[in-house]
Amino acid sequence: MKKIEAIIRPEKLECVKKALEESGYVAMTITEVKGRGEQKGIKLQFRGRIMDVDMLPKIKIEIVADDEDVEEIINTIIQNARTGKYGDGKIFVLPVERSIRIRTGEIKS
């Protein structure tokens, strides 16, 4: 089992969510986060001065999936979150030891 953490543009959430749902991946957790990548945010030029805006708002999607589903989920996220510009975000894949469904106590590992 793996956990996929995708940091994406907030405005792309709806289409990523819809595409994942259409591929059969409904379960997810999302968090509003702020962060910066290697570009250190962006620089705005405004009335003759330069202003650094780092820590841009992003959305973090967390999905725990079986190993064989990971590639499809990653591809779906990439296809639907990409604009081609800096700031499109990043995807991390982490190993998961086990998951426990609270309602039933069912354990998967």
Partner 1 sequence: MDSGDTAWILVSTALVMLMTPGVGLFYAGMVRKKNAVNMIALSFVCLVVVSIIWVAYAYSLAFGSDVAGFTGDLSYAFLEKVGFDPLDGMTIPHLVFVIYQMMFAVITLAILTSAVAERVKLSSFIIFGILWITLVYAPFAHWLWGNGWLAKLGALDFAGGMVVHISSGFAALALAFVVGKRGGFGEYNIEPHNIPMTLLGAALLWFGWFGFNGGSALAANGLAANAIVVTNTSAAVAGAVWMIIGWIKGKPGSLGIVSGAIAGLAAITPAAGFVDVKGAIIIGLVSGIICYLAMDFRIKKQIDESLDAWAIHGIGGLWGSLAVGIFATTSINEFAGLINGSVSLLKAQIIAVIATVIYAFVVSYVLAKIVDAVFGLRVSNEEEYVGLDVSQHEEVAYA
Smaller CB separation from partner 1, 61 or 65:
61
CB 6 → partner 1: shortest distance, Å? 16
Smaller CB separation from partner 1, 11 or 22:
11
CB 7 → partner 1: shortest distance, Å? 16
- Euclidean distance between CA atoms 20 and 48, whole angstroms: 44
CB 11 → partner 1: shortest distance, Å? 5
Chain residues in the site for partner 1 (CB under 8 A): 11-12, 14-15, 42, 44-47, 51, 53, 56-57, 87
- Euclidean distance between CA atoms 52 and 109, whole angstroms: 45
